[in-house]
Amino acid sequence: MNYLDRYKLWVNNSYFDKKTKEELELIKNDNKEIKDRFYKNLEFGTGGLRGVIGTGTNRINIYTVRRATFGLANYILNKCKEEGKSKGVVIAHDSRHMSREFCLETAKTLAACGIKAYIFDDLRTTPQLSFAVRHLGCVAGVVITASHNPPEYNGYKVYWTDGGQVCLDIAEEIINEVNKIEDYSSIPTTTEDNKLIVMLDESVDTAFVEAVKKQVIRQDIINKVCKEMKIIFTPIHGTGNLPIRRALKEVGFENVQVVKEQEMPDSKFSTVKYPNPEEKAVFSLAIQMAKENGADLIIGTDPDCDRVGVVVKNTDGEYVVLNGNQVGSLLVDYVLTQKQEELKSMTNPTIVKTIVTSELGAVIAKSFGVDCLDTLTGFKFIGEKINEFEINQDRTFIMGYEESYGYLIGTHARDKDGVVSALLISEMAAFYYDKGMTLYEGLEEVYKKYGYYKEELVSMTLKGIDGMEKIKSMMANFRNSNIEKIANIKVEKINDYKTGIDDLPKSDVLKFILEDGSWIAVRPSGTEPKIKFYFGCNGEEKSEVDNKLQQMIKEITSL
């Protein structure tokens, strides 16, 4: 069936509602738009769905959400039988357009298949969903979110029994079940009052916050500075407001202010271009507040509260955004420093990071006698390692992190957790505050000890069918380019993860390792229409590293 046939089917089939048909009527003379919406089914990838909200098979809407859920339900019924039905699936959602509707559609399709569906009364964070899967003993979990994407997007992520995102093998089997569904009108649904749809109470919230609070290392330091140290927090219109403020308050931080303009959920994210804590622009209001009251720390989380951005004063008194590599390295140094005695009794203590994350954390870990393992990009692979360590009992997970502002301390969740990260970052800031230092000065101390490391990410957005083809072409060109030198530094090794190396699953990533330890990685984004270029350099002198990094970026982007 071609895209026009699919379009006509949706227009004429009585299964699709009036609102859907009205939206399709508006594009009846726009062949390009019809093609983009119907040339394929929105792909259920290894992490689930993510796409622009709208009508069509290549959009996220109640029908594509039902299709994804029916595929998941069939997998559960085939794999887990009656046990899967009774254990059920827990569903959470963020503050985006249609998130509540998609949550309810997921629950109704699961219930129509005889599977218990747990839902929350309102929005909840992604890490709490991860926690809730294990806390409730569910067979799976679903979170409706598009993370930090622009407001026109939404998404659908699937978690398995261990609380982590579904591993590649399970994801492939679910994808196969989803791909079998061609007739949307065959997908079952029910009403919201179905007895298999269970509303959760606040006990799950309390259990999650208690688990987060257990990760505090130096309560004595918090008690010492909690009245003086000033924290500003922004949830950027998302889910982080209540759990983060609750956790900070319950461990003792008294001087916490929230950015009022960004406090309440807002599906338009009206104060920012898009709600990504990697961008300094989202902190404009928070920085203005900080300048007025002399705040020591600014923290911001994305809509589903799994990513955390940090803003601190530099040595000139200016507020600067620390990147994910910097915060991750600071956390590694702080956590290992404070846990030195505990490490001695642990079985092979280990931190886990991704292949596109700075090597500084690995260098710090080594100095403490702690292993550092690399995974593919995506926190799901870090979550898999936690489960693997627990099954094999050969390693102890200390923390995991990735350059894209995601961190996890502890094992209460199996995905990056903005709540525990905000808490530990605040504790770490309190530690340096007690020494008369900022986090920025703490980072400078780390550089003095281990060497200067700098990383940068350059992304190119290429939307639509043409953009997808261009990204494929770029990856092919880099694979065939036979690059021998970058910035006049010899390329010592090229890791092509698509061939399956380092005991990692195959992935469309290229990494060029230079003879001085610098590196460049290239990969298509798994969640956005982008190709991403990662650069990493290190050395003794800041100016030397900065110059080298800029030359590398110039050469690679010119290709």
User: How many angstroms separate the Cα of 529 from the Cα of each of 51, 273, 472?
Assistant: 10, 17, 11
- State how far the Cα of 383 lies from the Cα of 387, in Å rounded to an integer: 7
Residue with tokens 């505050």: 433
Are 342 and 457 part of one and the same domain? no
Picking from 200, 228, 262, the residue at the C-terminal end of a domain is 200
pLDDT for the residue 482: 85
The whole-model pTM stands at: 0.95
Are 123 and 247 part of one and the same domain? no
- State how far the Cα of 206 lies from the Cα of 212, in Å rounded to an integer: 10
Picking from 151, 174, 200, the residue at the C-terminal end of a domain is 200
- State how far the Cα of 400 lies from the Cα of 276, in Å rounded to an integer: 20
Neighbours of 349 (CB within 10 A): 21
Are 259 and 392 part of one and the same domain? yes
Number of domains in the chain: 3
Are 412 and 339 part of one and the same domain? yes
Instruction: Give per-residue pLDDT as tens, 273-328.
Output: 989 999 999 999 999 999 999 999 999 999 999 999 999 999 999 999 999 999 99
DSSP E strands, 161-244 = 197-199, 231-234
Residues 6+ apart with CB under 8 A from 140: 72, 76, 89, 133, 158, 159, 160, 161, 166
Residue with tokens 């026009």: 4
pLDDT for the residue 240: 98
Tell me if 30 is assigned to some domain.
no
Are 266 and 148 part of one and the same domain? no
Residues 6+ apart with CB under 8 A from 309: 277, 278, 282, 283, 299, 300, 301, 321, 405
Tell me if 28 is assigned to some domain.
no
More confident residue, 347 or 44: 347
For residues 128, 132, 138, 139, the Cα torsion angle rounded to the nearest 10 degrees is: 30
* Residue 481 confidence (pLDDT) above 90: no
SS3 396: strand
Instruction: Give per-residue pLDDT as tens, 213-246.
Output: 999 999 999 999 999 999 999 999 999 999 999 9
Residues 6+ apart with CB under 8 A from 367: 450
Are 484 and 358 part of one and the same domain? no
- State how far the Cα of 67 lies from the Cα of 51, in Å rounded to an integer: 14
* Residue 46 confidence (pLDDT) above 80: no
Tell me if 33 is assigned to some domain.
no
Tell me if 209 is assigned to some domain.
no
Tell me if 15 is assigned to some domain.
no
Instruction: Give the CATH number for residue 127.
Output: 3.40.120.10
pLDDT for the residue 314: 96
pLDDT for the residue 528: 76
* Residue 414 confidence (pLDDT) above 90: yes
Picking from 171, 200, 229, the residue at the C-terminal end of a domain is 200
Whats the size of the chain, residue-wise?
559
Are 180 and 226 part of one and the same domain? no
Instruction: Give per-residue pLDDT as tens, 47-66.
Output: 789 999 999 999 999 999 99
Tell me if 245 is assigned to some domain.
yes
Residues 6+ apart with CB under 8 A from 335: 217, 398, 399, 409, 424
Are 425 and 481 part of one and the same domain? no
Catalytic positions: 147
Q: Which two tokens stand for residue 306?
A: 């799994």
Tell me if 20 is assigned to some domain.
no
Domain span at residue 231 reads: 216-450
Nearest-Å Rg of the Cα atoms of the chain is: 24
The arithmetic mean of pLDDT across residues 530-556, rounded, is: 94
Instruction: Give the CATH number for residue 550.
Output: 3.30.310.50
pLDDT for the residue 190: 97
The answer to which of 261-265, 491-495, 538-542 has the lowest mean pLDDT is 538-542
Are 404 and 459 part of one and the same domain? no
Are 237 and 358 part of one and the same domain? yes
pLDDT for the residue 551: 96
What does pLDDT average to over the chain?
A: 96
pLDDT band at 558 (very low <50, low <70, confident <90, very high): confident
User: How many angstroms separate the Cα of 68 from the Cα of each of 42, 50, 110, 171, 523?
Assistant: 10, 11, 11, 12, 26
Residue 149 zone, left/alpha/beta (φ > 0; ψ -120 to 50; rest): beta
The DSSP letter of residue 45 is B
pLDDT for the residue 526: 75
Tell me if 21 is assigned to some domain.
no
pLDDT for the residue 396: 98
Are 457 and 423 part of one and the same domain? no
Instruction: Give per-residue pLDDT as tens, 398-413.
Output: 999 999 999 999 999 9
pLDDT for the residue 463: 85
Are 178 and 230 part of one and the same domain? no
- State how far the Cα of 533 lies from the Cα of 471, in Å rounded to an integer: 12
